[in-house]
Structure 1
Amino acid sequence: MNLSRSARVTLRIAAGLGFAVIYVPLLLVLVNSLNPDRSSGWPPPGLTFHWWADAWHSTGAREALLTSLKAGAGATAIALVLGTLIAFAVQRYRFFGRETISFVVVLPIALPGIITGVALNTAFNTVLEPLGVGLGMFTVIVGHATFCIVVVFNNVIARLRRMPGSYEEAAMDLGAHTFRTFVDITFPLVRSALVAGGLLAFALSFDEIVVTTFTAGPGIQTLPVWIFSNMARPQQAPVVNVVAAVLVLLSVIPIYLAQRMSSDTAASSRI
């Protein structure tokens, strides 16, 4: 499609403004983490790594980081198993309610986080508390898995829709049983989609705060919750800026890798 010069200039300006709204605040967080003053004044009087050292020695931040890693790993593992199984069932089989299942799986990512959090909190208190299971790490992982399943499901089912069935049929014609066909043919073809979905699920869980607030018990504090709870403390403001900057940098890695994996998946499907 050929655009006029004015249209191209307008699109570039609009794109630049959009990127500025997204990334300038993130850049300010990074700069404020190097600000020698405790207040986030602008412009900063200088640059220092003093607060980075303080953040490294902060027991609360390190414990919150470990909690976030545990919750993200657990939610990702659940999402990979359930999301993959549901994707195979919906794509490979025809049964009553198939479209309804697809809708129900995708729905949690569209719901406001506070609605999901309140619903899970009520369900956990109603079902698990009488059984002696209170809010804690287990409920956080289950809460995160409810929306992490969606990204794995979407990645895997998109790959299955582009994957020709002739490869698996040829393997079975040559005598391979179902398990051998899956190991040798199906899994290598969907592996990149699984990795991309897992990375996105982990990033989604790692950054979650609303659902975590409603599903975490006393003493359970993920890194985003720790940042939010310490923002109102003036003495902690520089350390919070450092932790927020680190969180931004760490979040970029799985998202970038997932994007590369998705691109490789799309390219392989065209070969």
Structure 2
Amino acid sequence: MLRLSRGAKISLWVVASLVIACTYVPLLVIIMNSFSSSRIAGWPISGFSLVWWEKALMNEAVHAAVINSLVVAAGATLIALLLGTLSAFALQRFTFFGREVVNLLIILPITLPGIVTGVALSNTFYGVLDPMGIKVGYAGMIIAHATFCVVMVFNNVIARLRRMNPNLEEASMDLGAGIGQTFRLVTFPQFRSAFIAGGLLAFALSFDEVVVTIFTAPPGVETLPLWIMNQMARPNEANQVNVVATVIILLSLIPVYFSQKASAAADAK
């Protein structure tokens, strides 16, 4: 068992405390400024007020941005769940020429800088498809998000498939169950937690995406991250952004919590 000296323990504690402080103190400042009575965000706050919460919650632009983000994230997640799961099964269960290349191509989008992906998709949508009369519009933004969301599902599902016992499926089919029944009663329950965890991570990643959205969003369409970025150029509206950011911080705890629970359940099996 590794034992640390007293000096090493103190150093580790100091470094860990600094990292935690750098992460969470700025979030606390955002939350506190959402309740500030001042028009301009700052520290310390001049007084407490709910005026910015009222303005933000009644702002129709915020409502539209939230709906756009939810629709895009949900669409991208559905695509990712389907393609990521099928890809994981294909690469785990079958041997074919070029399998490693396919595996690389699936993972590549998450390793590319967002600006590269955004420029590539924008050129394709508006430089190739648009002149051909194919208007991708809103669907193009969903497809763009799905390109990197697929990786989240793929990595979670294939990691679980590699730990599954194929004898259970063989026993099910030996007892007379068909392929569909075996998948529903034996196979899916074994990787269900990884499937859910991948979907939650994909949704969170899509909901938060900015760079790819800038290049692929149709004119006049704003997701919530784009709305926040545009509002930051208006200092008098900064506290509305703090309100929205506070809500996002609180809501983000939900998918993270369930994703952790699902991952823990997958590891326990």
TM-score normalised by L of structure 2 = 0.96
- 1:54 counterpart residue number: 55
- 1:261 counterpart residue number: 262
- 1:162 counterpart residue number: 163
Paired AA for residue 89 in structure 2? F
1:123-152 superposed Cα distances (whole Å, 9 cap, x missing partner)? 112332134333532111000000000000
Structure 1 stretches of 4+ with a deviation exceeding 3 A read: none
Change (3 A) 1:135 1:237: farther
Deviation at residue 210 of structure 1 after TM alignment: 0.4
- 1:116 counterpart residue number: 117
Cα distance in 1 for partners of 2:211, 2:202 equals: 16
Change (3 A) 1:135 1:220: farther
Q: How many percent of aligned residue pairs carry the same amino acid? A: 54
1:45-79 superposed Cα distances (whole Å, 9 cap, x missing partner)? 22222211111100001100000000000000000
Mapping of 1:77-156 within 5 angstroms? 77-134=78-135, 136-156=137-157
Q: Is the 8 A contact 2:40 2:237 kept in 1?
A: no
Cα distance in 2 for partners of 1:163, 1:199 equals: 22
Change (3 A) 1:169 1:155: same
Stretch of structure 1 that moved more, 247-256 or 100-109: 247-256
- 1:76 counterpart residue number: 77
- 2:35 counterpart residue number: 34
1:18-55 superposed Cα distances (whole Å, 9 cap, x missing partner)? 11112111111111111110111211122222211111
Gaps of 5+ in 1: none
Change (3 A) 1:26 1:135: farther
SS of 1:162's partner is coil
- 1:250 counterpart residue number: 251
Gaps of 5+ in 2: none
Cα distance in 2 for partners of 1:212, 1:132 equals: 22
Stretch of structure 1 that moved more, 203-212 or 27-36: 27-36
Stretch of structure 1 that moved more, 243-252 or 193-202: 243-252
SS of 2:131's partner is helix
TM-score normalised by L of structure 1 = 0.96
Cα distance in 2 for partners of 1:134, 1:15 equals: 50
